[in-house]
Structure 1
Amino acid sequence: MYRIVFLLLSSLFIFSCADKKIDSIELPYYNEPDFTPMFIKNKLEVNQKIKHIIADFSFLNQDSIFINQKRIEGKIHVANFIFTTCGSICPVMTRNMKIVSDSLVSNKDLVFLSFSVTPWIDNPKILKKYKELNNIKNKNWEFLTGTKSAIYKLARQSYFAEEDIGFSKDSTEFLHTEHFILVDKAKRIRGIYNGTLTLEMQQLIDDIKTLEKED
């Protein structure tokens, strides 16, 4: 009798620990510009509650090839917003993004998108040189340029690039953010990270691996 009770209690303990382990690796969804996390397990509930996805886009990359939303469909991607003449946070962000890129370079279903916030300066030729100067070999890392209005709209309305302001900020105001945004295979935002902090890159790497396990 005692043995049966012990086995039952042990089983409950194991299942309880397993549940906690599962809970610890699940990532939230972000549906609003204030980045309030929403933890949802049921997929039907996700479809009902999470309506925000990254909008369609089309921009030129560093090789003068048009890149659109098909590039990220069914793939995890990480986005950030930089400009090549930036002398403050952008070089740090690029180095930190490279840490993630180099760590996961074998993952062909992972895409990195770096959008220029000074597209009137950063043409494809300049972006290609910038990629080469930073010794970026990953073919799945695109540096993108286009019209200012299109990039800024995508940044603020789709990626919530300035989470304290969201898309309420005037489109003429300069966009400058240190954030990296993690997006899942269904184009839903799943994480935000400070791209100037090297310590946060390991968390980003871990979170990407977590998303890889999702169906």
Structure 2
Amino acid sequence: MSKKGIFYVLFFVLLAVGFYLASSYFIPGFNDRKLEPISKVGPFNFTDQDGKPVTNKDVLGKVYITEYFFTTCPGICPMMNENMKQVYEKYKGNPDFLILSHTCDPKTDSAAKLKRYADSMGVDTKQWIFLTGRKDSLYNMARLSYTIDDPANNLTNIEDDFLHTQFWALVDRKGNVLKIYDGLKQKEINRLIKDIKKELEEKPQPTAKL
């Protein structure tokens, strides 16, 4: 190859590299890869802290985080929900964002008890919703839809089963589970806050009329 040819090759390589670096710097999210779904949220019908039903259809079109906890937990749950409050404060008032906190101890956590817990947290329960329901339904959602616990942990006798996990799931407007985060690690919470922002910036697709 002639010197002139080498010059042109180097010129275009440097031009491409320069374009990439400039785009990375000036265009927010240029380097961010779109999160691909890892599972799909199945149908559910639970009861919120006010005793009202909440179904998968009610949250369709929203970006939301889901977690599992119980009100009498002395260990990781208080730490998790203090961390979750960071996310809540960041997106508080955004009508397209929700947090769903499911109890893993529905025998103890009635709607009234969840209401008292929510009040103690000082949060708006229209945006941070606390859910109870049938134990087997709650656990199947965690393991088969949200994938925040191993389905192999299912026990034949549901009364002997107990789910306790620090993992959270991010769900998009279409009900796709996009990513799992460790609710005890600040680095992952920071990443989650950024990922929520990206999902909220995605324009909702119009619903097809039947």
| Range class of TM-score, shorter chain | 0.7 to 0.9
Equivalent of residue 106 in structure 2, options 114, 119, 122:
119
Equivalent of residue 62 in structure 1, options 44, 49, 64:
49
Counterpart position of 1:185: 173
Are the aligned partners of 2:118 and 2:125 in contact in 1 as well (CA < 8 Å)?
no
Corresponding pairs, count: 191
Counterpart position of 2:208: none
1:1-215 alignment to 2 at 5 Å? 11-17=15-21, 18=23, 22=29, 24-31=31-38, 52-137=39-124, 139-162=126-149, 166-171=150-155, 172=158, 173-215=161-203
Counterpart position of 1:37: none
The amino acid across from 1:58 in the alignment is N
Residue aligned with 2:143, SS: helix
Are the aligned partners of 1:59 and 1:66 in contact in 2 as well (CA < 8 Å)?
yes
Instruction: Report the TM-score when normalising by structure 1.
Output: 0.79
Pick which of 8-17 and 139-148 moved more: 8-17
1:168 CA displacement: 2.3
How many percent of aligned residue pairs carry the same amino acid? 31
The amino acid across from 1:181 in the alignment is A
1:10 CA displacement: 6.1
Q: Residue deviations 1:90-118, cap 9 Å, x none? A: 01111111110011113110110000000
The amino acid across from 2:178 in the alignment is R
Unmatched 5+ residue regions in structure 2? 204-210
1:19 CA displacement: 6.9
Instruction: Give the Cα separation in 1 of the matches to 2:14 and 2:125.
Output: 48
Instruction: Give the Cα separation in 2 of the matches to 1:138 and 1:120.
Output: 21
Unmatched 5+ residue regions in structure 1? 32-51
Structure 1 pair 108/168, CA: closer, same or farther in 2 (3 Å)? same
Instruction: Give the Cα separation in 1 of the matches to 2:14 and 2:186.
Output: 41
**Which protein shows a greater Rg?**
2
The amino acid across from 1:88 in the alignment is G
Instruction: Give the Cα separation in 1 of the matches to 2:30 and 2:179.
Output: 16
Residue aligned with 2:40, SS: coil
Instruction: Give the Cα separation in 1 of the matches to 2:199 and 2:19.
Output: 23
Instruction: Give the Cα separation in 1 of the matches to 2:125 and 2:162.
Output: 29
Structure 1 pair 91/85, CA: closer, same or farther in 2 (3 Å)? same
Pick which of 86-95 and 169-178 moved more: 169-178
